[in-house]
Amino acid sequence: MGFSLTLFLILVSLPAILAQELNFAKIVVDGTTEIAETDDTYICATIDWWPSDYCRYGSCTWQNASAITMDLSNPLLAKTIQAFKHLRLRVGGSPEDQLIYNVGNPGNPCHPFQQTRKGLFGLTKGCLSMSRWDELNQFFSKTGAVVTFGLNALNGRHNQGILWLGDWDPSNAEALIKYTISKGYHIDSWEFGNELSGGGIGARVEAAQYAKDLIILKRIMTELYWKSSFKPKLVAPGGFYDKNWFNTLLQDSGSGVVNIVTYHIYNLGPANDRNLVNKILDPSHLSNSILGTFTDVEQTVQEHGPWASIWVGESGGAFGGGAPNVSDRFVNSFCALLWHRLMGTGVLEVDTDASPELRIYGHCSKGRTGVTLLLLNLSKQSEFVITVYNRVNVNMQGKKGILLQRSSTFGHKQTNSRDKKEKASDGLSYREEYHLTPKDGDIQSQTSVLNGNPLNVTNGELPTLHPVLNDDNSPIYISPLSIAFIVIPNFEAPACA
């Protein structure tokens, strides 16, 4: 699914920068071949089921943010989702495997989640009324959201400790899907359970049993949607990667049952980790803690489920609702929105002689020619001065040596985008730059600044995200602890044609 919003590793509370160092670096972009491809709905968000009074690690972060309690009439909420055109919303999370749907014969009274000492995650069973399901789907339709819905995969089972045994009872899920079809609601994909794979989080199901039940769900979906021109995808398992468990799941369920393999990433650990800030700004931790998992998941799917796509179905950086004064600080949604608007689906290879504190991602630009770079400066002190080159005109010699014929360089002279037509008449070509920094240099601030202008919501309206224009033949300046999107329309990239 993409990478949920924390790919950008939200920059968090740190001391004010007292001194800066200039570091000159080169970036070489290979626009001849795509090395990977992302989904059109790569940016996604999860709406969970946690009750408003649920607290963890001494913080009650959920408040009225669940699918049951969220204020769907809030105009800012709708406008935020609409800003992404078609934002993927995953409705699900830890309590989903205790959620009963009040349709057909659910076998349980329809009561909201309540806290208890005995229940899974300290909760009783909860209930989704069909009136609320109607409201949610009306909201999805109004905002253009693309919905993935997580089904209760523990219904009918009994537990021995963390292990849940017995066959899944599909009757309640089937009743919900029938109701959904009868109302004409468009659910893009159905996901089966949450974090039941491997050792499980709170609960687990053996892979062979899970695969058996997944075949039943696939058959139900095929039967119920057989008259429909739209066929929703089946997504699984929505949990943490375990090689043997994932292998068995794909082998036992068989060809074509699982359309999308999902797994979760929380490589920063729990939200109460006192070392969280250092982890976020440590390039070696960010790479080494998860790179092997990416490789292993890809290998598993290639060997045992080559018909399936792969999504990171859930990722929040720090698990447990996020860390106060960390997860809710600096650039979050604006960074995701810029990614959605600027980064195309084609992923390009980039090489650099910069230090690891500068993280670089290259994509074909979205809906236009050229390439777009995402640059994250994790350094507290170093400002990077960057020159970008085209692989067509460059030979790389090791990691630190670059022999080059100048293709183009990019600068610090800033021109407001509204002056573009006038400036273009001088015969020069320009690139667009979006530099995100915290207000007043205080990265505990909840106000993001774009190219020197605070991004504030005014009268319920999202701010306009304007770039600055810089001459192609000038270097790019990346401030400490900042995030920048650089759009280069005149970059020759055959892979992006």
As annotated, the active-site residues are 195, 314
d(CA 270, CA 265): 12
Q: CA gyration radius for the chain? A: 24
Length of the chain, please? 497
Q: How far apart are CA 23 and CA 69, in angstroms?
A: 49
| Amino acid, single-letter form, for residue 63 | Q
From the number of C-beta atoms within 10 Å of its C-beta (0-12, 13-18, 19+), residue 130 rates as middle
DSSP conformation letters of 217-261: HHHHHHHHTTT-S--PEEEEEEE---HHHHHHHHHHH-TTT-SEE
DSSP, collapsed to helix, strand or coil, labels residue 353 as coil
Q: Which of 394, 471, 464 shows the shortest CA–CA distance to 426?
A: 471
* CA atoms within a 13 Å half-sphere pointing along the CA-CB vector of 345: 9
Which of the 8 DSSP states describes residue 121? G
The CA-to-CA distance between both ends of the chain, in Å, stands at: 25
